Amino acid sequence: MNTIIIYASRYGYTKDCTQLLADQLKGETTIIDADNQKEIDISDYNQVIFGGSVKIGQLQRSITTFAITHKSELLKKKLGIFVSCGEKANYMKYLQDSLPKELLTHASLIECFGGEFRKENMKFFEKRMISVIEKSNEQKGERPPMPMFENIKKMAAEFSV
C-alpha cells in the first residue's frame, strides 16, 4: 500500500494534520505541499488523499487546480478528501463549491479535520478579520475553530486496510 497526501495550508494547522495522518497510516506515505510543487505525479500511488483549508469560503486554488487537472486519474484511485475549517457545519458546502462533484462522489471518505486560528502566522489584516469573527462568534454563543483529531484517525483507519 502506498499513499500520497497532497495538502495546502495557510497558517500551518492543515500541515500539522497532514503529518499526524501520515504518522498513523500503514505502508509508505509521501506528503506534497501543493503550493510548493506545480507538477504533481500521482501515477505511482494506489491511494491519494488530498485537501486544504478554508478562507472566506474557499479552498486554496492550488488544491482546486490539482483536483481539476488530475480528475480522470483520481477517479481510478482509492481517494480520500479532507478540509480544515472553523465552521464544521459548512465543510461539505466548502468542498462542493471548490471541487469537481465526481470526485466527491467517488471518494471513499471525506472528513473535516476541524481548525485552529494560528494568529502568530497571520498578517495584520487577517488578525483583524479574526478578531471581528471571534467577537461575532462570542455574541452568538458559537465556539471558535476546534481541532477534530478523531477524524484524522478515521481517515488513517480507512486508508490502512
Ligand X SMILES: Cc1cc2nc3c(=O)[nH]c(=O)nc-3n(C[C@H](O)[C@H](O)[C@H](O)COP(=O)(O)O)c2cc1C
> Are 143 and 137 within 8 A, CB to CB?
yes
CB nearer to ligand X: pick between 44 and 120: 120
The residue ranges that bind ligand X (CB under 6 A) are 9-14, 53-57, 84-87, 90, 115-118, 122, 126, 129-130, 145
Q: For residues 47 and 108, what is the distance between their CA atoms, to the nearest angstrom?
A: 10
Least distance CB 119 / ligand X (angstroms): 8
CB nearer to ligand X: pick between 55 and 106: 55
Q: By Cβ distance, which residue is nearest to ligand X?
A: 115
The single residue listed with the C-alpha cell 471558535 is 144
Q: DSSP secondary structure string, 12-64?
A: SHHHHHHHHHHHH-SSEEEEEETTT-SS---TT-SEEEEEEE-BTTB--HHHH
Least distance CB 8 / ligand X (angstroms): 8
CB nearer to ligand X: pick between 29 and 53: 53
CB nearer to ligand X: pick between 26 and 128: 128
Least distance CB 78 / ligand X (angstroms): 24
Task: Specify burial of residue 14 (Cβ count, 10 A radius: 0-12, 13-18, 19+).
Answer: buried
CB nearer to ligand X: pick between 78 and 111: 111
Q: For residues 132 and 92, what is the distance between their CA atoms, to the nearest angstrom?
A: 24
Least distance CB 147 / ligand X (angstroms): 8
Task: Specify burial of residue 124 (Cβ count, 10 A radius: 0-12, 13-18, 19+).
Answer: exposed
Least distance CB 109 / ligand X (angstroms): 19
